[in-house]
Amino acid sequence: MIRWIEYSGRGPVHLFGNSLGGAISVRVAGTRPDLVRSLTLVSPAMPFLDPRRSTQSRMLPLLAIPRGDRIAMRVLSRIKPEDMANQVIATCFADPTRVSEQRRLEAVEEIRIRYELAHYIPAYLGSMRGLISSFLRAYLPGAGSLWRIASKITAPTLVIGGRQDQIVDIRVAPTVARAIPDSRLLILDQVGHVAQMEVPRVVARAVVAMLDEVREPAAARPKRLSRAVRAGVASVRSEDRRGNQHGPARVAPA
């Protein structure tokens, strides 16, 4: 990511990251603040130590078993791509009916292609091992901790979490907002792991509001009362399936 921003010559950029992409974005913004103008994190996969808080925990035993990739391949080969797509959608979305039929069919085709790739399972398990390793390092001394890197972020940041997230512990988003000095927190009810896909208008409005705020001269910005309010919890009733809004945001101290 850093190399691409440097190569493109577009920095500093408005950086968005979801899930593992959120953790990567934290690393970019914390280690190269000169490349990031603003940061938006949607359900960032930042470290947490309670595996019961994620549906991905069922894959953990395979990481400790020799030749776990072969076992995983045998298990996956028994699951039809259609069933796997439905499982993924049900895990990522609080309301799977928000996914259009066209997108569901595209997901089925993507999974079918993955099944045909010899490197798919080893790459997936390798990514999981790397993620767990970074989680453990985050709570050990050293500069490689993602939480220490997050505390060095200087860009204005918006952290968004879905209350029904089944992949990342819902407690992570408030913790990330507290770790980043100039942060705003938005917790959405009836939203899962991919808020930008589930309630795109709500997410877009929140991002635009942050950009409008940071665009103002510092002297013209509303004075914030406290750190608690700055890293407070914003709760918005989510869009319905037609995209209609149900009311304004409500902000409360964290």
Cα dist. 218→54, 179, 221, 230 in Å?
A: 40, 22, 5, 15
Between these two residues, 197 and 243, which has the higher pLDDT value?
197
Please give the residue that has the higher pLDDT: either 142 or 85: 85
Predicted local confidence at residue 240, as pLDDT:
42
Averaged pLDDT for residues 88-106? 94
Q: How many residues does the chain have?
A: 254
Rounded CA separation 118/22 (Å): 27
**H or E element, residue 14:** strand 13-18
Instruction: Domains for the chain: give ranges and CATH numbers.
Output: 2-47+143-252 (3.40.50.1820), 52-133 (no CATH)
* pLDDT at residue number 206: 96
* Mean pLDDT of the 186-213 span: 95
Whether the per-residue pLDDT at 224 is higher than 50: the answer is no
Look at residue 226 and tell me whether its pLDDT is greater than 50: no
Q: What is the pLDDT of residue 58?
A: 56
The CA distance from 12 to 80, in Å, is 44
Q: What is the pLDDT of residue 217?
A: 60
pLDDT tens string 40-51: 999 999 887 565
- For tokens 């974005």, the residue is 25
For the chain, first and last CA: distance in Å?
32
Answer with the residue of higher pLDDT: 238 or 63: 63
- Three-class secondary structure assignment of 192-243: CCCHHHHCHHHHHHHHHHHHHHHHCCHHHCCCCCCHHHHCCEEEECCCCCCC
Mean pLDDT of the chain: 80
Reference 125, options 208, 218, 188, 63; nearest CA is 63
> b or e along 171-200 (b: 16 or more beta carbons within 10 Å of the residue's beta carbon)?
ebbbbbbbbbbebbbbbbebbbbbbbbbbe
Exposure class string for 219-239: b at 16+ Cβ within 10 A, else e:
eeeeeeeeeeebbbbbebbbb
Identify the band that residue 77 occupies on the pLDDT scale cut at 50, 70 and 90.
Answer: confident
Name the residue with higher pLDDT: 158 or 226: 158
Query: Is residue 36 predicted with pLDDT exceeding 80?
Result: yes
191, 11, 233, 179: which is closest to 93 by C-alpha?
Answer: 191
Q: What is the pLDDT of residue 232?
A: 40
Indicate the pLDDT class of residue 118, thresholds 50, 70 and 90: confident
Query: Does 166 or 120 have the greater pLDDT score?
Result: 166
- Residue 250, pLDDT > 50, answer no
Are 199 and 95 within 8 A, CB to CB? Answer: no
**Whether 238 contacts 188, CB under 8 Å:** yes
Is pLDDT at 5 greater than 90 in this prediction?
yes
Q: How far apart are CA 235 and CA 12, in angstroms?
A: 30
**Run of H or E including 101:** helix 101-115
137: buried, middle or exposed (CB in 10 Å: 19+, 13-18, 0-12)? middle
Confidence category of residue 245, pLDDT binned at 50, 70, 90: very low
Nearest to 87 by CA among 141, 167, 25, 202: 167
What span, in angstroms and rounded, lies between the C-alpha atoms of 197 and 216?
A: 29
